[in-house]
Structure 1
Amino acid sequence: MPALTSRRAPRPSKGQDLTTAPASGTPASRNTGYKVTGIRVLRSEWAKVWSLRSSLITLGVAVFLLVLFGAIASYTYSPGAVANSGPPGPGGSGADSTAVSLALTGVSFAQLAIGVLGVLLSAGEYSTGMIRSTLTAVPRRLPVLWSKAAVLGPIALILTTLGALAAFQLGTPGLDGEKIALSLGDDGVLRSLAGAGVYLGLVAVFGVALGVLLRNSAGAIAALVGILLILPGLASLLPDSMYDTLSPYFPNNAGSAVYSLHESSDALSPGAGLAVFAGWVALTLAGAAYRLAKTDV
């Protein structure tokens, strides 16, 4: 008759710590070897963007508005009517309109959609409480902010640049025979269309920063609209000399200079406008980073 084998665990050797002895039938270590890295945080934020239906809808709306209003402005262009009705879009007075400024009429609408998306992706986590899980997984916190900005900014830049190109190409037949007609090969055209994408990409990052800074979706959206659209109007109440000095440095005006085809005497150059608007975004990001690092969830 075969001897029965004992199923009892081996007795620990003398001096062995029972609390660290591995259980029978289990791995000696439960450490999976995974750690938080910048790439993994980026992949997590990338998955969040594309897993939310609201992200796809908002991005689609932004590009649609950019293309729609640009094409409409080009096909409804009338030199006499534009000169008398004021500016139809970015680029100066109506009389100074170009094929590019008409194609980019939708930028003022697309910036709201893109900025709101940035707010929802950041402040939305505070509203749902998901931020607790996020910061538990990434206890250093700041990589979360950088990753949100690094993911959404390029996505917005690429899609809106393609939208600006589409708006220009769709509007070109509507301006056939007009003095303001341009082609992609003309000086400054591609730079202006790409500048619109750069501006809107920075607006997306601006929305992310406002969302983390204010931690409230409604408040951050109100701040976004106020800074980009209402602030220039309120500043017009200032004395003319002060307004003329400060106006080019307002976020929306500095951003408009980035994608303007011709430099205006009362506006910044494209390079200076980009630097100023990027400074506004960087300042807001710095405030968001400070609050994220120094305060509780």
Structure 2
Amino acid sequence: MSTATTATAGTAEPDPGRPRASFADVLRSEWTKIITVPSTFWTLLAGSLVVIGFSVLWAFAFTSTYDQLSPDARADVAPTSPMQIAFYFGMVIFGVLGVLVVTAEYTTGMMRTSLTAVPRRPVYLAAKALVLGGVVLVVGEAVSFLSFFLSQAVLATKDISGSLGDPGVLRAVAGGGVYLALIALMALGIGVIVRHTAGAVVVVFIVLFVLGIVGGFLPGQWGETVAKYLPSNAGSAILVPVEQSGVLPPWQGLAVFALYTAVVCAAALAVFQSRDA
């Protein structure tokens, strides 16, 4: 194979006289990419504002209609209810971030340069996933706790607020950041497989949003069982403070979603290694 052909494929052999980049070097490179690309900042900001804003908005919705609710409906309002609804709208944006982290390099042709510098594809993809997951985990935890505290300030006007010391609340709030990190990693895997921003975003939207809606219309007992295990339904179980009927137990639900993420990432790695950049 000629040098030109190899470079085009993005699998050029490293210069024998040049030291091989360590995993720490690759991590620093990926960190530099993610903090210097404007789309990363704006997507993180958009996702954060949507989750926080909708948490406060739904808290106002609960307090403004609370007196008209039936006793059963009032009992269903938990301290984390506004946050649960907000996550449903904001999670796709964090998925878009995961897509952009990889598809932007395909769009600009930077992927060939990256793989020339780091020809060990598992190392390259692992570093990208670790940096993305770490960034979204930190931001996600901050967003989750801020959403909770701001919504409690609103719920307190009707004496329906809670605290982190209530049963399951701390786990639900802290689990929100983990859930967002897993969403970003799943989206990263989808981006690697699809390699096209618009196409990957559509797939993420279907997996995280559309399937959850479809699950609500599945008939009968089998439909209820299947709906529990759909990705967004399983993952969002961690946001529920107390185990509820029709929803997987919180840690089991998060584990199921983590398994989905692992399968997608494993498939992405297999595809990534088997084709040209």
**Shared fold (TM-score greater than 0.5)?**
yes
Distance (Å, rounded) in 1 between the aligned partners of 2:41 and 2:181: 16
Change (3 A) 1:184 1:234: closer
What is residue 140 of structure 1 aligned with on the other side? 120
Which residue is 1:72 aligned to? 57
1:191 aligns with 2:178: no
Q: Which amino acid is 2:144 matched to?
A: A
Q: Does 1:158 align with 2:158?
A: no
Bigger shift: 103-112 or 201-210?
103-112
Equivalent position amino acid for 2:272 in 1: L
Structure 1 residue 130 corresponds to structure 2 residue 117: no
Partners in 2 of 1:173 and 1:120 — Cα distance? 35
Q: Normalising by structure 2, what TM-score?
A: 0.87
CA distance in 2, matches of 1:154, 1:288: 19
RMSD: 2.2
Give the Cα separation in 2 of the matches to 1:103 and 1:157. 17
On the 8 A contact 1:74/1:99 being kept in 2, the answer is no
Of Structure 1 and Structure 2, which has the larger fraction of its residues in helix? Answer: 2
Match of 1:101 in 2: 81
Structure 2: gaps (5+ residues): 1-14
2:45 to 60, 65, 72: 60
Structure with more relative contact order (C-alpha pairs < 8 Å, separation 6 or more): 2
**2:206 maps to 1:221:** no
Which of these residues, 175, 180, 192, is aligned with residue 160 of structure 2? 180
Contact 1:104 1:164 in 2 (8 A): no
**Would the alpha carbon gap of residues 285 and 81 (structure 1) be closer, same or farther in structure 2, given more than 3 Å must change?**
farther
Relative distance call for 1:164 and 1:94 in structure 2 (3 A) is farther
1:284 is matched with: 264
Contact 1:104–1:167 (8 Å) recurs in 2 = no
TM-score by length of 1: 0.82
Q: Distance in 2 between matches of 1:31 and 1:212?
A: 29
Identical aligned residues as a percent: 36
Post-superposition CA distance 1:252-286 (Å, at most 9, x none): 00011012111112111111011100000000001
How many Å separate the matches in 2 of 1:202 and 1:94?
A: 32
Aligned to 1:37: 22
Deviates most, 30-39 or 60-69: 30-39
Q: Would the alpha carbon gap of residues 105 and 236 (structure 1) be closer, same or farther in structure 2, given more than 3 Å must change? A: closer
Three-state SS of the structure 1 residue aligned to 2:80 is helix
SS of the residue aligned with 2:166?
coil
What letter is aligned with 2:32? A
**Which deviates the most, 138-147 or 227-236?**
227-236
Provide the C-alpha distance between the structure 2 equivalents of 1:83 and 1:55, rounded to a whole number of angstroms. Answer: 44
